[in-house]
């Protein structure tokens, strides 16, 4: 089975992001980049399938600036078999829909049995690309999954479709899909693996072919969304400590403050 995982390179979760001088982007000068956490879960899920069935191949793709190559290299070092970078001037300023369209072209060429995406990227949190990709391809999709595996083999040992687990309140649902499908990933059972040192050395030997986004029929002018303004959350004011009086009075004062000042009661 061939799996394709779509990843996005986003600021590492330990980085404190600042708004850039233009007021509509982030200051990228001091940023450590990483694979977006949900995408990393998607990579891990795909690799777990490969662990279970070594005939599985896992390809990873990203659409983004040239620095995104590092995210692909990391995915290769984790154990993915191949990587595709869609980049170029046009790839710098795409919105989610345009990214999905570029990915659809890659999917049509690579012909994977299924496509995995993180449920949303950790930078803009839009949660759009997976579903938009399914829609563009005309494929079904199941979102926020935690596990998948080929459906139980029939008496003849044939594999028909894929079983997919979703967490729901108090338990989980199992869906069965047939044919190619796009899955967006909530998390993996195990934490994403660290790239091992031998894995890093194997990844070093792999070429990462580059596709120009414009050659996939996607152009920068195609973006339907534009970021007008970014602003940091307002600074948090100092807290208030209620300590005068006995416990009864303190409680009464706390309730009054929560009701009248904080307006949350």
Using CB under 8 A, list all residues that contact other proteins. 70, 73-74, 77, 191, 194-201, 203-204
The distance of closest approach from Cβ of residue 16 to other proteins in the complex, given in angstroms and rounded to an integer, is: 13
Q: How do strand 162-168 and strand 210-212 relate by DSSP bridges?
A: unpaired
The distance of closest approach from Cβ of residue 33 to other proteins in the complex, given in angstroms and rounded to an integer, is: 11
Among candidate residues 108, 93, 74, the one with its CA nearest the CA of residue 196: 74
Nearer to other proteins, 28 or 194 (CB): 194
Nearer to other proteins, 194 or 252 (CB): 194
Nearer to other proteins, 70 or 212 (CB): 70
SS3 at position 67:
helix
In the structure encoding, which two tokens stand for residue 124, read together?
A: 């803009």
The distance of closest approach from Cβ of residue 256 to other proteins in the complex, given in angstroms and rounded to an integer, is: 29
Among candidate residues 46, 12, 232, the one with its CA nearest the CA of residue 122: 12
Nearer to other proteins, 198 or 238 (CB): 198
The distance of closest approach from Cβ of residue 12 to other proteins in the complex, given in angstroms and rounded to an integer, is: 9
The distance of closest approach from Cβ of residue 214 to other proteins in the complex, given in angstroms and rounded to an integer, is: 27
The distance of closest approach from Cβ of residue 99 to other proteins in the complex, given in angstroms and rounded to an integer, is: 25
Among candidate residues 53, 120, 46, 49, the one with its CA nearest the CA of residue 83: 46
Distance between CA atoms of residues 248 and 253, nearest Å: 9
Among candidate residues 97, 87, 89, 94, the one with its CA nearest the CA of residue 63: 87
Nearer to other proteins, 122 or 136 (CB): 122
Distance between CA atoms of residues 50 and 124, nearest Å: 30
Backbone angles phi, psi at 58, to 5 degrees: -120, 120
User: How far does Cα 214 stand from its chain's mean position?
Assistant: 23
Nearer to other proteins, 82 or 95 (CB): 82
Q: How many CA atoms lie within 13 A of 196 on its CB side?
A: 5
């Amino acid at each position: 089975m061939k799996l394709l995982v779509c990843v996005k390179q986003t600021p590492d979760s330990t980085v404190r992001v600042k708004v850039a001088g233009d007021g509509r982007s982030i200051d990228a000068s001091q940023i450590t980049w990483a694979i977006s956490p949900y995408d990393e879960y998607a990579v891990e899920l795909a690799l777990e399938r490969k662990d279970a069935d070594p005939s599985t191949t896992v390809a990873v793709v990203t659409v983004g600036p040239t620095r995104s190559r590092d995210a692909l290299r990391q995915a290769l070092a984790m154990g993915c078999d191949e990587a595709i970078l869609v980049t170029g001037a046009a790839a710098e300023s795409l919105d989610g829909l345009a990214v999905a369209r570029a990915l659809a072209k890659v999917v049509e060429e690579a012909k994977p049995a299924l496509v995995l995406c993180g449920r949303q990227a950790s930078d803009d949190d839009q949660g759009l690309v997976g579903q938009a990709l399914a829609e563009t391809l005309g494929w079904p999709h199941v979102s926020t999954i935690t596990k998948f595996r080929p459906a139980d083999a029939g008496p003849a040992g044939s594999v028909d479709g894929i079983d997919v687990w979703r967490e729901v309140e108090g338990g989980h649902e199992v869906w069965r899909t047939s044919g190619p499908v796009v899955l967006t990933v909530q998390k993996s059972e195990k934490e994403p693996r660290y790239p091992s040192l031998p894995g890093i050395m194997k990844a070093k030997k792999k070429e990462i072919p580059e596709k120009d986004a414009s050659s996939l029929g996607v152009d920068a002018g195609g973006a339907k969304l534009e970021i007008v303004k970014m602003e940091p959350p307002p600074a948090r004011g100092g807290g208030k400590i209620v300590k005068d009086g006995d416990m009864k009075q303190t409680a009464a004062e706390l309730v009054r403050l929560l009701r009248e000042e904080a307006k949350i009661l």
